[in-house]
Chain A
Amino acid sequence: MLKIKTPKTHRAKRALEKHAPKLVENGKKTLILHGTKTSNVLNSVLTQIYHLKRDSAVKYTKKNENIRPFESGGETSLEFFSLKTDCSLFVFGSHSKKRPNNLVLGRMYDHHVYDLVEVGVENFKPIDSFEYDKKITPRIGSKPFFAFIGEGFESVEELKHLKEVLLDLFRGEVVENLDLAGVDRVFVCTAISSTTVFLTHCALRLKRSGTSVPRMELVEVGPSMDLVVRRHRLPNDSLKKEAMKTASDQPKKKIKNVSSDIVQGKIGKIYIPDQQVGNMPLSNEIKGLKRERREAKKNKVNGDHQSKKRKTDPL
C-alpha cells in the first residue's frame, strides 16, 4: 500500500522544490568536511575555502571516520551528506603519513560521486598573512575571473581534470547579466610542473587607462597554495554523457500572441475587450456627477451671498 505524502506547510514545499531537478540549474553548493585526522594547515585551508564560498557552502566540523572517497564503500556517507545538504561539490581534507595535507576535490551528479581529484597542499599562505588596502577586498558572492597559465593544463591529463574541477568549484552561479562595477576577484592558476599547480586568489583593481577598457591590476589577497596532484578518477563515459545534457537542447516555450517577422521583427498582438458602458456601476463617487452638484451649489451660493462677498473683496 502506498500513501501520498505532501508537505504540510508552504515553506516545506518551497524547500522541496528548491532541491528538485531543474531545467536551468542554480549554482552548485559546496560541502566542506574533515577526515579522521587533519593538520593545522589543512584546517585553515578548509576554513578559508569556506570563506571564499561563504554564500554557497556548508562546512562540517566533525571528524568523519568512514569517508574514503577513492575506496569502494567509502563514499556512502559522503553521498548521504550530499543529499542532506543538497551539495554537489565537496572538499574533503585529511592528513596521514602517506598523504600529508591531503585535499580531495570532487563533484557529484544526482548525489553520486561523479569524479575526484586528490591534491596535496604545500606552501600554504593564509588570508591574514597578506597586507593590502582593505577597500579592495572582494565581496562575497561576486563573480570571479579565472586565469589558467601553462601548457600543462592541456597536455597533462591530471591537470586538465584539475582545471575543470577548480573552475566548477569557484565559478559560482552561471549568470546572464553581469554588473561591470562588481567584478573584483581573480583566481590565478599556474601549472609549475606536470603535477604542481600554483593557485592564488587576487583582488582586482580597475584603473583608468584613457580608453573605455580599464587597466586591470592584481593585488594578491590570499589564500595562496601549491596543489600537488596525487590520485584522480575521471567519470565513466556513460555518466559523463548523461551529465553533460543541457537545457538548451530543449525547445523554448512559445510565448502567446508574440510572433516574429523577417521584415518587421518582433510582432505582438494585443487584445482589448470592448468597453461596456451599459454595465458600468453608477455611484455617487463618479466625478461627473459630483461636478454637477458642486456647480449647482455654487450657483446657489452666488445668488444668495453676493453682497457679502463684495464687502470682503477690497480687503
Chain B
Amino acid sequence: MGAETYQIDLGNLMAFDPSHHFQSIPSAREDLVKECLQKGTELVQAIANALFSLPSTEDPDGPIVHLPQPTTRLPREKHLPKPKPPTKWELFAKAKGIKNRKKDKRVFDEQTGAWKRRHGYDRVNDDKDVPIIEAKLTDEPGEDPFAQRKVEKKKRVEKQEKNRLQNLKQAMKAGALPSHVQLAATALPITGSQKEAPKKASKEELENVAGMAATATASGGKFDKKLPGEKAPKHAGKFRKFLPVVEGKGMGTQEKQQTEKILNQLMAKSSHDILDVNKAVTMFNVKKERQRKKEKDREVFNTSNKLKPKKKSLKKSSKKKN
C-alpha cells in the first residue's frame, strides 16, 4: 500500500494514483471491473483516512467536518463581478469631503404640528398639505403658484432620472451594471433634420441583401469564407424536375400522358383552340412596347437607371408551353 504516492484533493474528495500501471489488462470484463474496484477501494480508503482525521463537530445529523479548499483548479462559471464605478455625486462628494450622515426617519412637521415621515406617503413638507401660499411682489398675475410648484417638482424628478440613467450608462461601460437592471434601446438616436427614426431593416430584407452579396463572385460564392453562424443562401426559384425515363408503377405513365395530351390537342379537329387569340395579341403588343422602350433608352442615357441593381428573377422566362 503506497498511500504516500496518491494525490489527494480533500476539497473535491478526490484521490489520484498516477503510479498505477496494469501489468496485463484482463481480458474478461468481470476481472477488469473487479481489479478496478479493488484499486478504487484503496483510494477511497485513503481519502476516508484523511477525511475522518479532520476535526469534527457533532450535529444531530452526524459529525460535520470543515473541508479545506480544493487544490485542483477548475475554471469559473462566469467572470468575477466588476466593481461599480462611482457616480457623479460620489465623485463630487469625495472631492468636497462630504460624508453621509444618518438622518432620522421621522421629522417634526411645523405645518401640521405633528411628527411625520421624512419621505413617502404622508410626508413632512408635502406640497399637498400646503393650503395657502402667500403672495409675493414678484408674482405675476394669472399664474397659479400651486401648479408652478407641481411643475418644479416634476422637473426635479426628471433631472434625477436623467442623472441616474447617465450613471447607469457609465456602469454599463465598465460592465458593472446591477444584475436586475437592463438598459434597452427605445429608438435609434435622431440626428440632423430627420424627423422620423429610420425604419429598421427586416430580417427578410437583410437576408436578401446578404444573399445577393454572397453570390456576387464569379464562382457564386462557392469558395468564400463563411462567417460563424452564417447559413447558405436560400435557393430562390424552382428546382428542375425530370420525369422518369423507365416506366414504373406511378410516375412512369406521366410522361406518356404528357405527350398524349399535346398530341391530342394538335390532332384534334377543332385545332384553333390551341391558339388563344387574345393572349397572342397581348403578347405581341407587349413585345412591341418593349422594343420601343429599348430604343428610347438608348437615346436618353439615364445614369440613375444604371446604378440601380437590375432585378432579375432566377426563374426562366415565363413563357407558357401551350
Question: Residues on A close to B: CB < 8 A?
Answer: 1-7, 13, 16-17, 19-23, 25, 28, 72-73, 76, 88, 107-111, 114, 123, 143-151, 153-154, 163-164, 167-168, 171, 174-183, 186, 188, 190, 192-193, 198, 200, 202, 204, 212-218, 220, 224, 235, 240, 242-248, 250
Q: Pick the residue among A171, A192, A246 that contacts B25 (CB under 8 A).
A: A192
How far apart are the CA atoms of A146 and B182 in the complex, in Å?
Answer: 42
**Quick check: B76 and A175 within 8 Å, CB to CB?**
no
Q: Pick the residue among A1, A22, A243, A248 that contacts B81 (CB under 8 A).
A: A22
A177 and B40 in contact (CB under 8 A), knowing A151-B19, A215-B45?
Answer: no
**Quick check: B12 and A190 within 8 Å, CB to CB?**
no
**Quick check: B51 and A180 within 8 Å, CB to CB?**
yes
**Quick check: A6 and B61 within 8 Å, CB to CB?**
no
How far apart are the CA atoms of A204 and B45 in the complex, in Å?
Answer: 11
**Quick check: B13 and A145 within 8 Å, CB to CB?**
yes
User: Whose C-beta in chain B lies nearest to the C-beta of A5?
Assistant: B182
**Quick check: B189 and A1 within 8 Å, CB to CB?**
yes
How far apart are the CA atoms of A39 and B21 in the complex, in Å?
Answer: 34
**Quick check: B18 and A151 within 8 Å, CB to CB?**
yes
The CB with the most chain A CB atoms within 10 A, among B16, B165, B227, B229, is that of B16
Chain B residue contacts of A243, Cβ below 8 A: 75-76
User: Whose C-beta in chain A lies nearest to the C-beta of B190?
Assistant: A1
How far apart are the CA atoms of A72 and B12 in the complex, in Å?
Answer: 34
Chain B 144-156 interface mask (CB, 8 Å, partner A; 1/0): 0000000000000
User: Whose C-beta in chain A lies nearest to the C-beta of B76?
Assistant: A243
Q: Pick the residue among A154, A179, A190 that contacts B18 (CB under 8 A).
A: A154
A sample of 23 cross-chain residue pairs with beta-carbon separation below 8 angstroms, ordered by A number, consists of A1-B189, A2-B186, A3-B183, A4-B168, A6-B181, A22-B78, A22-B81, A109-B76, A148-B15, A149-B16, A150-B20, A150-B21, A154-B18, A167-B14, A167-B74, A168-B74, A171-B13, A177-B64, A181-B61, A186-B40, A188-B40, A192-B25, A243-B76
**Quick check: B48 and A214 within 8 Å, CB to CB?**
yes
**Quick check: A242 and B79 within 8 Å, CB to CB?**
yes
B65 on interface, CB distance cutoff 8 Å: yes
Chain B 18-37 interface mask (CB, 8 Å, partner A; 1/0): 11111001000100110011
How far apart are the CA atoms of A89 and B105 in the complex, in Å?
Answer: 48
Within 8 A of A (CB), among B135-176: 164-165, 168-169
A202 and B40 in contact (CB under 8 A), knowing A114-B75, A176-B66?
Answer: yes
Beyond the given pairs A28-B77, A148-B43, A220-B37, 8 more chain A to chain B contacts, judged by CB atoms under 8 angstroms and listed by A's residue number, are A1-B189, A149-B40, A181-B63, A186-B44, A188-B36, A198-B33, A212-B53, A245-B79
Chain B residue contacts of A182, Cβ below 8 A: 61-62
How far apart are the CA atoms of A176 and B187 in the complex, in Å?
Answer: 49
**Quick check: B74 and A181 within 8 Å, CB to CB?**
no
Chain A residue contacts of B76, Cβ below 8 A: 25, 109, 243-246
Within 8 A of A (CB), among B43-91: 43-45, 47-49, 51-53, 56, 59, 61-67, 69-70, 72-81
**Quick check: A23 and B81 within 8 Å, CB to CB?**
yes
Q: What size tier do the contact residues of chain B reach? A: 35 or more
Chain B residue contacts of A216, Cβ below 8 A: 41, 44-45, 48
**Quick check: B62 and A179 within 8 Å, CB to CB?**
yes
Q: Pick the residue among B25, B45, B179, B183 that contacts A16 (CB under 8 A).
A: B179
**Quick check: A149 and B48 within 8 Å, CB to CB?**
no
**Quick check: B18 and A153 within 8 Å, CB to CB?**
yes
**Quick check: B25 and A193 within 8 Å, CB to CB?**
yes
Chain B residue contacts of A21, Cβ below 8 A: 78-81
A153 and B183 in contact (CB under 8 A), knowing A73-B226, A198-B36, A216-B48?
Answer: no
**Quick check: A192 and B228 within 8 Å, CB to CB?**
no
**Quick check: B52 and A180 within 8 Å, CB to CB?**
yes
User: Whose C-beta in chain A lies nearest to the C-beta of B70?
Assistant: A174
Chain A residue contacts of B73, Cβ below 8 A: 244, 246
User: Whose C-beta in chain A lies nearest to the C-beta of B185?
Assistant: A2
B39 on interface, CB distance cutoff 8 Å: yes
B244 on interface, CB distance cutoff 8 Å: no
How far apart are the CA atoms of A146 and B189 in the complex, in Å?
Answer: 57
The CB with the most chain B CB atoms within 10 A, among A144, A148, A220, is that of A148
User: Whose C-beta in chain B lies nearest to the C-beta of A165?
Assistant: B74
Q: Pick the residue among B37, B56, B72, B179 that contacts A164 (CB under 8 A).
A: B72
A7 and B180 in contact (CB under 8 A), knowing A109-B75, A144-B13, A215-B45?
Answer: yes
A190 and B36 in contact (CB under 8 A), knowing A4-B164, A182-B62?
Answer: yes
How far apart are the CA atoms of A146 and B102 in the complex, in Å?
Answer: 53
**Quick check: B44 and A147 within 8 Å, CB to CB?**
yes
How far apart are the CA atoms of A146 and B45 in the complex, in Å?
Answer: 11
**Quick check: A177 and B66 within 8 Å, CB to CB?**
yes
How far apart are the CA atoms of A143 and B63 in the complex, in Å?
Answer: 15
**Quick check: A2 and B183 within 8 Å, CB to CB?**
yes
**Quick check: B65 and A180 within 8 Å, CB to CB?**
yes
B11 on interface, CB distance cutoff 8 Å: yes
**Quick check: A217 and B41 within 8 Å, CB to CB?**
yes
Q: Pick the residue among B21, B44, B61, B63 that contacts A145 (CB under 8 A).
A: B44
How far apart are the CA atoms of A108 and B229 in the complex, in Å?
Answer: 18
